[in-house]
Structure 1
Amino acid sequence: MLEHGGGILRAAQQYGIPAQDWLDLSTGLNPQGWPVPAASPRSWQRLPEEDDGLEQAAADYYGSPLLLPVAGSQPAIQLLPTLRPACRVGMLPLCYAEHPWHWEQNGHQLSRHAPEDIDAAIDQLDVLLLCHPNNPTGTTFSRAQLQDWRARLACRGGWLIIDEAFMDATPEHSLLADVGLPGLIVLRSIGKFFGLAGARVGFVFAWPALLQQLAEAIGPWSINGPAREVVKQALQDSAWQHHMRAQLATDSARLQQLLQMHGLNPAGGSVLFQWLQGAHCPALFDFLARRGILLRQFADGPSLRLGLPPDEAGWQQLETALAQWEKP
């Protein structure tokens, strides 16, 4: 199993700090998630049904009906590599680790390309997979560039797969408006912006034949009834979404400024996280962990990802700890 953020119980055992006393900045999830109401008894007592309004709510929110609800992005991440014969797949040097793992496990030839090198390499690839914005570096690309790469791949039967798990806060940069064009696959997740990672709900957007292949491979009832009910309501709550986009932009700027104030200049980031890179990162990770603050550590680089604190107490805890940090 690959390592992910959110390992509070393991950190509590390792550092001897009770789990409830940790400030978890390791996940990149919105810490002020959508307020979940109690699920109806009916959602618990009946098998999930596709005519419950979830698909329509998602089509309205995302702006495309060409979708398949899935139990988070993970099923699609695991199954998409099985739907092509062995081919050449390009990704960024550092990205969400589940993507390269499953393409390699299914016999595909994986190559890594810096952002500035992708254009020169695209005609030697069959699949280009990008997290957009990238996790954890925050790298983004223009819509025109992505559209050009999609067209060049599609003319040879290739795919452009865009994982937009962190896109909800900046929907104007999404490629969802282009879904339906040949070769374009977009993944979206409820976990990040809505802060509903435990619901395990995501969506795949693509042409109908591919969605049908995925649906048959996944099978029925992949999303439980209470999760379908809750996510439908979250997708319909446009007032909360509008407020949260503004709030996250403010909090993101605050985190960036706080890091800079203490000599930690982010090498990248998005609205939901900041990314630090350098030889000091392992020491900073351990320094903060000993004070009950958990970050996401990456061996490549090395580097760290910091999410947003959930409240003013969390902000003060982070600021106090950073004030005590002296960069080696």
Structure 2
Amino acid sequence: MAALPGTELGLRLLGRLGLPRPYRHVAPGYRTHAAALPGSTAISPDRIDEVGGGTLLLANPNNPDGRLVPPDRLLDLARRLGRAGGVLLIDEAFADAAPEASVLPRLAPEDRVLVFRSFGKFFGLAGLRLGFVSGAADLIGEMREQLGSWPVSAPAIALGTAAYADTDWILGTRRRLAARCEELDETLRRHRLYPKGSCPLFRLIETPAAPVIFEHLAQRGILTRPFDYAPDWLRIGLPANAEAVTRLDRALTDR
């Protein structure tokens, strides 16, 4: 394992590790993934099992659709890739909120895998710039060489240590996120908007009315995320509390 000054930098260093080609990344996904491996080819999430070699980069749970690939399936994929001299790269930025998604507890030392974990997505301190990469020892060693000495600040070490040690807060937050997601899903379905994804930090809806809904909610002070490459999509962040869910419900009723 190596600590990072945010997973963004770790991803940007992948192109310097001499990873096996060809490069592929799952899309739609993080824009950084396409840039992290120069010359990488985008593939659909439904085609990952077809990859027979080279390097594959994906997020699990995925962004922006929240799609979750079972970790056992990813482990099988990683080992098939490894036998062909390939490497699997998994961005688990949202996995602290959905620990069942993580492949980390299933990995063996010989598995040709790198797993990236973000601190800010779950703890809400993105500006602290803290993340981690775990996996094959030789690849981690190369990453450490690229990072150099003292890549993580003293405040990030202190706050990160305190946050990860607060297991009561972590477990309580996971329960609250799951409960709030149920409220959000019920609200969306009540308005014939059908949520997709398994990430408890947001939901994706797909409807031809997405641009109209975006404008309608924005005029009422509720910001959602549209996508230029998928105009029928709208990502809705998890409301902060019950009052925010009610506010969203009322705004959708008025449309």
Q: 1:96-130 CA distances to partner (integer Å, 9 max, x unpaired)?
A: 11111232xx2x34131242x322x211x411212
Cα separation, partners in 2 of 1:109 and 1:241, compared to 1, 3 Å: closer
For structure 2, the 5+ residue unaligned runs are none
The answer (yes or no) to whether the contact 1:162–1:186 under 8 Å persists in 2 is yes
> What is the DSSP-based 3-state SS (H/G/I as helix, E as strand, rest coil) of the residue aligned with 2:93?
coil
Q: 1:51-102 CA distances to partner (integer Å, 9 max, x unpaired)?
A: xxxxxxxxxxxxxxxx111011101110112212672233333111111123
CA RMSD, 1 decimal: 1.8
Residue number in structure 2 paired with 1:94? 28
Residue number in structure 2 paired with 1:249? 178
How far apart are 1:159 and its partner, in Å?
Answer: 0.8
The answer (yes or no) to whether the contact 1:133–1:270 under 8 Å persists in 2 is yes
- Find the aligned partners of 2:171 and 2:228 in 1 and give their Cα distance: 36
Residue number in structure 2 paired with 1:5? none
Residue number in structure 1 paired with 2:216? 287
How far apart are 1:223 and its partner, in Å?
Answer: 2.0
The answer as to 2:132 corresponding to 1:203 is yes
What letter matches 2:238 in structure 1?
Answer: L
Residue number in structure 1 paired with 2:86? 158
- Find the aligned partners of 2:209 and 2:16 in 1 and give their Cα distance: 40
Residue number in structure 2 paired with 1:215? 144
The answer (yes or no) to whether the contact 1:88–1:111 under 8 Å persists in 2 is no
For structure 1, the 5+ residue unaligned runs are 1-66
Q: 1:228 aligns with which of 136, 157, 163?
A: 157
The count of residues paired between Structure 1 and Structure 2 equals 253
The answer (yes or no) to whether the contact 1:73–1:203 under 8 Å persists in 2 is yes
Q: 1:124-174 CA distances to partner (integer Å, 9 max, x unpaired)?
A: x41121211111111122222111111111112211111111111221331
Q: 2:244 aligns with which of 281, 292, 314?
A: 314
- Find the aligned partners of 1:218 and 1:199 in 2 and give their Cα distance: 17
Q: 1:155-205 CA distances to partner (integer Å, 9 max, x unpaired)?
A: 122111111111112213311121533311101011112222121111000
The aligned runs of 1:107-186 (5 Å cut-off) are: 108-115=39-46, 117-119=47-49, 121-123=50-52, 125-177=53-105, 178=107, 180-186=109-115
- Find the aligned partners of 1:292 and 1:260 in 2 and give their Cα distance: 21
What letter matches 1:83 in structure 2?
Answer: L
> What is the DSSP-based 3-state SS (H/G/I as helix, E as strand, rest coil) of the residue aligned with 1:192?
helix
How far apart are 1:269 and its partner, in Å?
Answer: 4.2
Cα separation, partners in 2 of 1:109 and 1:244, compared to 1, 3 Å: closer
What letter matches 2:134 in structure 1?
Answer: F
Q: Percent identity?
A: 35
What letter matches 2:196 in structure 1?
Answer: A
Cα separation, partners in 2 of 1:160 and 1:312, compared to 1, 3 Å: same
- Find the aligned partners of 2:45 and 2:220 in 1 and give their Cα distance: 35
Query: What is the TM-score with the length of structure 1 in the denominator?
Result: 0.72
> What is the DSSP-based 3-state SS (H/G/I as helix, E as strand, rest coil) of the residue aligned with 2:121?
coil
What letter matches 1:80 in structure 2?
Answer: L
- Find the aligned partners of 2:157 and 2:184 in 1 and give their Cα distance: 33
Query: What is the TM-score with the length of structure 2 in the denominator?
Result: 0.92
Cα separation, partners in 2 of 1:227 and 1:85, compared to 1, 3 Å: closer
- Find the aligned partners of 1:315 and 1:142 in 2 and give their Cα distance: 29
Which of the two has higher C-alpha Rg? 1
How far apart are 1:314 and its partner, in Å?
Answer: 2.3
